[in-house]
Amino acid sequence: MSTADDLVTIWTAGVDAVIGRRAVCDALRQHNVMRPDAVIAVGKAAASMAAAAHDAFGPLPMLIVTKHGHVMDAPQNAEIIEAAHPVPDAQSLKAGARLIDAVDNMARDTHLLVLTSGGASALAEHLVDGLSLNDLADRTQALLASGQDIHAMNALRKDLSAIKGGKLLARFKGQRITSLAISDVEGDALGVIGSGIGDAPADAPFDFAPYIVASNAIARAAAADAAQGVILSNTEDLYDDAVALAPRIAAQVLAAGPGLHIKGGEPTVILPPNPGKGGRNMALALLLAREIAGIEGVQILVAGTDGTDGPTDAAGALVDGHTWDDSGSDALNTANAAPWLDARGALFRSGPTGTNVMDILIAKRT
């Protein structure tokens, strides 16, 4: 097996350990979750998470809200709304209205199972008074280009929303909510994942049982287990601007001997006006390619665990000492890493994965 295959194999082992269907299936068993009366699933992993509920309990009233193209595992009886990501569209508002309608109409003895995963912030929305869809789309575009981290972005999103930050579940008049979430945020807080669409207000009158069922840490541990080589580091420290991260990561890898480094998190990027095509993983990969240019025996894979990096069809990229040439500077300045990396065979396409635990980087030095 080539080194490139090794990195993809290790990354894939990490992602496989946190697939929605598997994570929810394990959690339902571990926490002895009783059969719910209804299921609401929102996020990029919603279909996969909902499939586990169907596996465990059979057909149930189910509403799934997910990103276009991420419906592969959805149970047949489920109502499915596909919406845009990362910038909300009219479908996101349709999803928000349906979620409100569904929760409002639940009977007093209802046990509701809520399944949340990353992407939910964009995929479902009900606007506060005075805000239009265009306003929301413009504000979201500006936020995404600003280089702010997800905690800062979602604090703002909660203020603009009538369903985020516990507001959807505050409407519930039933008996019990079990809320299972796959975390794609630093610190794994339910109130931040999907801007807290699966969270309940502190004074909720119903029984509320929240659990985080998958995370970046779990995926990285599984990746480390699957690796043959020596693991030199396994850390969740990809939380900075990609421009600042690249030299730090390269220095760490080059200073260490042969072996593997695994990193998790979510780098940020500041986009120029009218950016080209790319994502934060591709931007980081391109910057790393420049750092390791001409050096033999180093390979780095960095990719989003949901299978899509920014508005592209690839998860990320795999670079080595031969990837970089000076035309890469232009791709960096115009945020156009996707076509540049694609032309060099460096893009990594996994397809939608059924999970979303931020990004994973694997660096190998031989």
Ligand X SMILES: O=C(O)[C@H](O)CO
Ligand Y SMILES: Nc1ncnc2c1ncn2[C@@H]1O[C@H](COP(=O)(O)OP(=O)(O)OP(=O)(O)O)[C@@H](O)[C@H]1O
* Residues engaged in binding ligand X (CB under 6 A): 118-121, 150, 154, 184-185, 193-195
3-state secondary structure of 170: helix
Tally Cβ neighbours within 10 Å of residue 186: 19
Tokens representing 154 are: 């979602």
Residues 117-176 that bind ligand Y (CB under 6 A): 118-119, 121-122, 144-145, 150
Per-residue contact flags (x/-) with ligand Y for residues 226 to 265, judged by CB under 6 A: ----------------------------------------
Binding mask 61-100 for ligand Y (x = CB under 6 A): -------------------------x--------------
**Least distance from ligand X to the Cβ atom of residue 37, Å:** 26
Name the token pair of 204. 């909720």
309 near ligand Y (CB under 6 A): yes
Residue 225, number of CB atoms within 10 A of its CB: 12
Amino acid at the residue 219: A
CA atoms of 62 and 45, how far apart (whole Å):
14
β partners of residue 180: 115, 211
Q: Which residue's CB is nearer to ligand Y, number 37 or number 313?
A: 313
With CA atoms as reference, report the closest residue to 221 among 322, 127, 360: 360
CB of 128 to ligand Y, least distance (A): 20
DSSP state letters, 40-108: EEESTTHHHHHHHHHHHH-S--EEEEEETT--TT--TT-EEEEE-SSS--HHHHHHHHHHHHHHHT--T
- Residue in 278, 316, 352, 354 binding ligand Y, rule: CB under 6 A: 278
Provide the minimum distance between the beta carbon of 266 and ligand X in the complex, in angstroms, as a whole number. Answer: 9
Shortest distance, CB of residue 211 to ligand Y, whole angstroms? 20
Quick one: what does residue 283 bind among ligand Y, ligand X, none, with the CB cut-off 5 to 8 Å set by partner type? ligand Y
Q: Footprint of ligand Y on this chain (CB under 6 A)? A: 44, 86, 118-119, 121-122, 144-145, 150, 184, 269, 271, 275-280, 283, 304, 306, 308-311, 335, 337, 356
